[in-house]
Structure 1
Amino acid sequence: MTGRVLHAHLHLLDRQVVRADGRLLCKVDDLEIEWGEVPYVTAILAGPLALGPRVGGVIGRLMTGVTRLFRPEEDPAPPRVPMSLVGEIGSAVTVGGDVPEASLERWVREHLVDPLPGSGGRDPGLRGPRPVRRSEVPARDRLSSLVGRRVVDRDGADVGQVADVRLTQDGPLLGETTQALRLSGLVVVPRHTGQLFGYERGPGGNSPALVRAVIRRLHRGSRFVGWEQIGDPGDPIRLIEPRAALLPLHELFTRDDASASA
């Protein structure tokens, strides 16, 4: 049976992460990935040290620089939520277990929410995050490092750039019952068309029909690259097939819609 299919930018990045009781923990600012024969997502990364490199440029460097300046530990790492604790992915990402709040969310709750009448005040069950150094966490890549990367086919011809990463929940087991989100493919778009925002989807999409038609017209050169079609995931990403063999993006979503309704 095929596992659940998600797209990293569309369904995970920038979503709120909450505990089972509804308490806000952090946001999904990036995803940690484990390479190997089956690359998969290992953890949610949160906070400015995760978001800054993803934003890039002067603003991104400023975010990370200021955060490092005020963090108490040397060479700090972003807060990390293992994917084994994720129970549900919807409009928010719900996690279980003993996960500390990120610093910003804790400050907002303590200084803005808890003083309000009827808020219930400080929950003794919530604790602050322990300072973490980068040397204490696995040296893994981030999913955002793939986005924007150039893609070339087997002959070296330009295919476009990565706009999103397709994830399928059929990877290795995390804990006893949860399967990991495996990197199953890339959404590749021509350089000039920018990000998709989900409007390019097929008949099952939620966008207005006219908007969807215009966006799909603009993205008619977009392609889906299955992970098995990648020969070298470096920079640029090199494929083992010619561009003509790649699936047009609108056909992928049409096929997904047909499978969902079957």
Structure 2
Amino acid sequence: MATLRDPERGCAWDQVQTLETLAPYTLEEAYEVVDAIERGDLADLQGELGDLLLQVVFQARVAEEAGSFAFDDVVRTICDKLIRRHPHVFEADGSPLADGPERLSLAQLDANWTASKAAERSEKTGRSEHAGGDLLGSVAKALPALTRAEKISRNAARHGFDWPDAASVIAKIREEVDEVADALGRDDPDHLAEEIGDLLFAVVNLARHSGIDPEYSLKRGNIKFERRFHAMAALIAEDGASLDEADLSAMEAAWQRVKRSKA
């Protein structure tokens, strides 16, 4: 990467990249890693992980040229963080605990991890979450909206602001659906967008209370829709028509046939 960035010996494209221009590629590569995992393609995963690692190396090199930090600093930082957040496994110097790891429940581990993150944020900002800091844990704004909504609501729940159970969230969803229906009758697109956002946020909380990752759930829903849509088109073609020629009633009939077939 140092050679690729070299003003005289390097590549013209690599030379002009900045942290800002590289950011979209980092997101894209992360999604491609997830895609390879979900497809169970380990050979492809190997390559995608390399592409993602390239982004780390590339950005570290840009930062090093600016005199900020280098790749070794990135590795050292994450090693220090792993040691700090696993006091039940490591001594402060990074060596394994002499008597072996302390056995904690998953709930205890999650609580300790959360407390450690909060302490790190307080140290970084110089103020605690309860004294003017970020009460919701500084959830990254670049996250997909569904994932960010889940994290925000989970952090709010840690402060006791939450529905008692999934059934209570269902009631909230019905309330939000009614508000969306009311907004549809107005000539106010901004208000409608806000109400639909409230509905989506409530659905995310239903997923959280049910132990479901909303982003993963919607991905599965997308895949199911695509599969059924193509199966519907195939059924219509079998009847001697094309999708563009079929009316809505014919498409709905074919769609119900696909659903009954468990496709």
TM-score of the superposition, structure 2-length normalised?
A: 0.23
Higher RCO, 1 vs 2 (CA within 8 Å, ≥6 residues apart): 1
Which structure has more helix as a fraction of its residues?
2
| Rg (Cα) greater in structure | 2
Which structure has more strand as a fraction of its residues?
1
